[in-house]
Amino acid sequence: MVTRTYRPIPISTLASGTELVLPVHEVTGDRPGPVLGISAAIHGEEAVGVEIVYRFLTSYDLRGLAGRLRVLPVANPFSYAAITRNTPIDMMNLNRVFPGNPDGMLTEQMAHKMAEGFLTGLDFYVDLHAGGAYPTVDYVYIINAEPLSRAFGSRLLYRPKDVPSGTSISVARAHNIPSVVVELGGGDVDQTGYVRRGIAGLANILKTLRMLPDDPTPPPAQIVLREIATLRPHHGGLLLPEVTTIGADVAGGQVLGRIVSPYTFEELEILRCPFDRGIVVLSQLTANVVEPGIFGYMIGNLGTAEREGRDATS
């Protein structure tokens, strides 16, 4: 029999009188096992991770659970309520200020509370991200827990040369916690399929860790990218996408999308594939209003990628 507890971590009181807390849920199994941490909504506009966590904890059969789940469904409540990437009160990016500062800006205080009260004591960690309010994304990082990254079940994975400093993952790595970063879903499209895949992916990670009794499902054929280019427009306006399939192969110079002025109808910019052989990792799936510097597209380099553990160019 599993037991469930709610252990919110106090952060501060806002000027409105609202108590700001980190909402931590714990699910404890009836067998010994590891502690797995799961977080979502470090960036508030990445809302699909919150739904994945909610539906996983409320609908998935966790009978026979070994160990304990420590789940933080909304890591930045202020940002989540405002549907923004950064914390509205100080406009800082929570996932760039870890391990935080107990006497710093509000975002730094939140990072400190999460680092000390949530991340400490984990044996494994999964951090759920998404494309955001407009772009849609689909890949998983390989950091220091490749079998778990593969077990999530995404077709595309990314092996970066390094992990950006100031992230929750950088704190976990400093504590030698095997960690997985999932980038899944987002955008102004139906999220049902991404939620379904997120639930299945979390369950498969638990099965891989032997926290759930069933055998894990083997991962599909996977491509491990070593290089991803992020295309950020230099002009704002109306982005009209021409490639709207995540995982689609694209050729060098191929048009991905065009930015036009909604006022003069002038074509301001064309976004093209930067690699001879590319694959779409993040895309705008609908025509969207964009500002300069936003996430336009993310394209993986197939020329240097690995397929099924082997170099794709070999």
In tens, the pLDDT along 108-140 reads 999 999 999 999 999 999 999 999 999 999 999
Q: Residue 147: helix, strand or coil by DSSP?
A: helix
Would you tell me how many other CB atoms lie within 10 Å of the CB of residue 67? 20
Give percent helix, percent strand, percent coil of the chain, each to the nearest 5. 20, 35, 45
Residue 103, pLDDT score: 98
- pLDDT of the residue at 312: 44
- The terminus-to-terminus CA distance of the chain in angstroms comes to 50
Q: What share of the chain has pLDDT > 70, as a percent?
A: 98
Tokens standing for residue 195:
């939620």
- pTM for the whole thing? 0.96
Fold of 3-220: Aminopeptidase (3.40.630)
C-alpha–C-alpha distance, residues 282 and 174, integer Å? 29
201: pLDDT strictly greater than 80: yes
What is the CATH architecture assignment of 226-311? Beta Barrel (2.40)
What percentage of the chain carries pLDDT values higher than 90? 96
DSSP code per residue over 287-313: -EEE-TTS--EEEEEGGG-EETTEETT
Q: Which residue in 162, 142, 160 sits closest to 152, CA to CA?
A: 142
Q: Residue 272's pLDDT is what?
A: 98
Is residue 310 pLDDT above 80, yes or no? no
* Residue 61 in this model has a pLDDT that exceeds 80: yes
What is the C-alpha separation between 89 and 105, in angstroms, rounded? 9
More confident of the two residues 313 and 250: 250
| pLDDT of amino acid 308 | 56
138-185 tens-digit pLDDT: 999 999 999 999 999 999 999 999 888 999 999 999 999 999 999 999
Per-residue pLDDT band at 83 (split at 50, 70, 90) = very high
CA atoms of 190 and 105, how far apart (whole Å): 36
Structural domain boundaries in the chain:
3-220, 226-311
Question: Does the pLDDT at position 311 exceed 80?
Answer: no
Tell me the C-alpha to C-alpha distance, in Å, between residue 123 and each of 23, 57, 179, 249, 279.
20, 19, 9, 37, 34
Quickly list H helices, 177-256.
192-208
3-state class of 259 per DSSP?
strand
Please say whether the beta carbons of 166 and 98 come within 8 A: yes
> Which residues are CB-contacts of 230 (< 8 A; sequence separation ≥ 6)?
282, 295, 296, 297, 298
Dump pLDDT digits (tens) for 208-249. Answer: 999 999 999 999 999 999 999 999 999 999 999 999 999 999
Beta pairing partners, 3: 28
Alpha-carbon torsion, ordered 310, 311, 313, 314, to 10 deg: -60
Task: Report the amino acid identity of residue 230.
Answer: T
